[in-house]
Amino acid sequence: MKLINPKSLTFKLWVYFMLFATVILTILWLLQIIFIDRYYQSMRIKDIEKAANTITSAYSNEDFEEVMRQLSFQKGLTVHVIDTEGHILFSADMMGSTQPRKPIDNIYDPAMYELAQSATGEIMHTISDPRFRDQSLIYGRILSDSTEDNIYLFIHASLIPIDSTIRILKNQLTYISIILILLAFLISFYISRRLSKPITRITESASELAKGNYNVVFDKGEYSEVNFLSDTLNYATKELAKTESLRRELIANISHDLRTPLTMVKAYAEMVRDLSGDNPTKRTAHLKVIIDEADRLSTLVNDILDLSKIQSGTTTLNVVEFDLTKTVNQVLQRFHVFAERDGYTFHLNLSNQANVKGDKQRIEQVVYNLISNAINYSSEDKHITINIQELENSVRFEVIDSGIGIPKEELPYIWDRYYKVKENHKRAIVGTGLGLSIIKSILLMHNASFGVDSKVGAGSTFWFELKK
Ligand code: ADP
């Protein structure tokens, strides 16, 4: 992967992290440098107002001077209490001195005039002196003590310290910003690499998978989203591998099953051509084999088509309510030939009517396959019992043959595609090994329960239960 690809997650994350750092720094600058002036000023105003209140309430007390001195010292204020003529009655400056001094040029004159006019009895001004680049706050209030003349309180606070503070802060902030930007640059690069790495790794594995390597393992990352993704992909890989091996097996099986009858067809056709063509008896026998093998082929092809249709999930069930007894009777008609020609007997225990819900055609196929298996694998006595029994919520269908049975260890496998119990298989039986897996797929689609009980030599009972 290229280190800097503007479209990559790494790069995007990196940019966002840097943006984040920049925003934070900007806020810091704004608060520290731009707004600090106003903040400081309003803080000073509050200080002054508070001090003015305290001084006013302490005015007639004995410890008035002490209060004044302390306040001016603590808050860095210069406090003057003067009379109308401009004589200083009390004064305290930030050095804590209370030596009365005459104010220079009587600077309070305009302020006193203004105070006399003001309705609130208070004034607050910011004054700046361009000579010293100095800014200060002047506060004034009438401290009247019921005497004929007004007494004035003036508090003076310099805003000068803020300038130097800002300079120090600016200096500091510049260093901090440079260091922070550098750190953010490195850390965010590291973090974004780290966050996107698992995804990159998963992509690499996925392209391996795309090439057909089903052994890839998707690694887990450090966070749950990636873990979930890799779990899902691992699962998908396993399923793909399974499908792939099934596909191979299927092709192998199909080609094997197709080849055998085709070989037979070819062999017997050659025999008819070369040997038995003129001998009607032999010819008929050989042609019968050819016809049987052709039948076997078409059964096989039909079964394969059925199964792949059902298992591909493209077919949907056409669920209707129908009478299972009637359906079973219809299917049995198709087996009449066997009953008459080969001497099979069917014992039926069917209730008069057994309504069930399901796809009629598919259930018919299930019934047909089960009865056909019972015929194929029954023993010499050729008795087949079919039961339909109404249960509380469902109807149970059973086909019981007294045939060869199925060994216990084979039972779990007979429902698999192409599975044939080894000893069972005589060539005479037209079997594809697909019948039961078609049955299983159909019954699973119906959410029906089904199963088999079997004993070697005693016979088998295949059953399913359909909802009413
Ligand atoms: P097939 O077309 O070979 O009958 P199925 O899928 O219907 O394929 O059955 C799978 C295997 O299960 C059969 O090959 C057979 O060995 C066994 N089997 C099925 N039904 C019976 C039965 N009624 N009695 C004994 N064995 C059976």
Residue 440 is part of a domain; what is its CATH number?
Answer: 3.30.565.10
CA of 31 to the centre of ligand 1 (A): 85
CATH number assigned to the domain comprising residue 291? 1.10.287.130
Protein residue whose Cα sits closest to atom 12 of ligand 1: 414
Domain boundary among 292, 308, 324: 308
Within this chain, do residues 131 and 191 fall inside the same structural domain, yes or no? no
CA of 69 to the centre of ligand 1 (A): 112
User: Would you give the distance in Å from CA 218 to the centre of its chain?
Assistant: 17
Within this chain, do residues 347 and 455 fall inside the same structural domain, yes or no? yes
Within this chain, do residues 155 and 75 fall inside the same structural domain, yes or no? yes
User: In this structure, is residue 2 part of a structural domain?
Assistant: no
Q: Between vectors from CA 457 to CA 454 and to CA 462, what angle results, nearest 5°?
A: 25
For ligand 1, mutation pick of 375, 376, 415, 417 (most atoms within 8 Å of CB)? 376
User: In this structure, is residue 169 part of a structural domain?
Assistant: yes
Q: Which atom belonging to ligand 1 lies closest to the Cα atom of 424?
A: 16
Within this chain, do residues 127 and 202 fall inside the same structural domain, yes or no? no
CA of 159 to the centre of ligand 1 (A): 102
Within this chain, do residues 69 and 96 fall inside the same structural domain, yes or no? yes
CA of 377 to the centre of ligand 1 (A): 7
Q: Which atom belonging to ligand 1 lies closest to the Cα atom of 403?
A: 24
Protein residue whose Cα sits closest to atom 16 of ligand 1: 421
Dihedral sign for Cα 292, 294, 296, 298, please: negative
Within this chain, do residues 28 and 175 fall inside the same structural domain, yes or no? yes
What is the signed CA dihedral for 276, 277, 279, 282, rounded to 10 degrees? Answer: 50
User: In this structure, is residue 460 part of a structural domain?
Assistant: yes
Within this chain, do residues 120 and 44 fall inside the same structural domain, yes or no? yes
**Cβ within 8 Å of residue 402, ≥6 positions away:** 378, 379, 381, 383, 458, 459
Within this chain, do residues 298 and 229 fall inside the same structural domain, yes or no? yes
Total number of domains in the chain: 4
User: In this structure, is residue 345 part of a structural domain?
Assistant: yes
Q: Which atom belonging to ligand 1 lies closest to the Cα atom of 419?
A: 10
For ligand 1, mutation pick of 297, 383, 424, 463 (most atoms within 8 Å of CB)? 424
CA of 226 to the centre of ligand 1 (A): 46
DSSP letter at 316 equals -
Which residue ranges in the chain fall short of pLDDT 50? 1, 426-428
Within this chain, do residues 30 and 42 fall inside the same structural domain, yes or no? no
Residue 194, H or E segment: helix 160-210
Q: For ligand 1, which residues put their CB under 6 angstroms from it?
A: 373-374, 376-377, 401, 403-406, 414, 419-421, 424, 431-437, 460
For ligand 1, mutation pick of 369, 414, 427 (most atoms within 8 Å of CB)? 414
User: In this structure, is residue 134 part of a structural domain?
Assistant: yes
CA of 220 to the centre of ligand 1 (A): 45
CA of 276 to the centre of ligand 1 (A): 35
**Cβ within 8 Å of residue 120, ≥6 positions away:** none
CA of 455 to the centre of ligand 1 (A): 14
Residue 145, H or E segment: none
**Cβ within 8 Å of residue 399, ≥6 positions away:** 370, 371, 373, 374, 384, 385, 386, 461, 462, 463
Domain boundary among 144, 178, 209: 209
Within this chain, do residues 42 and 104 fall inside the same structural domain, yes or no? yes
Residue 66 lies in domain: 36-161
CA of 234 to the centre of ligand 1 (A): 35
User: In this structure, is residue 61 part of a structural domain?
Assistant: yes
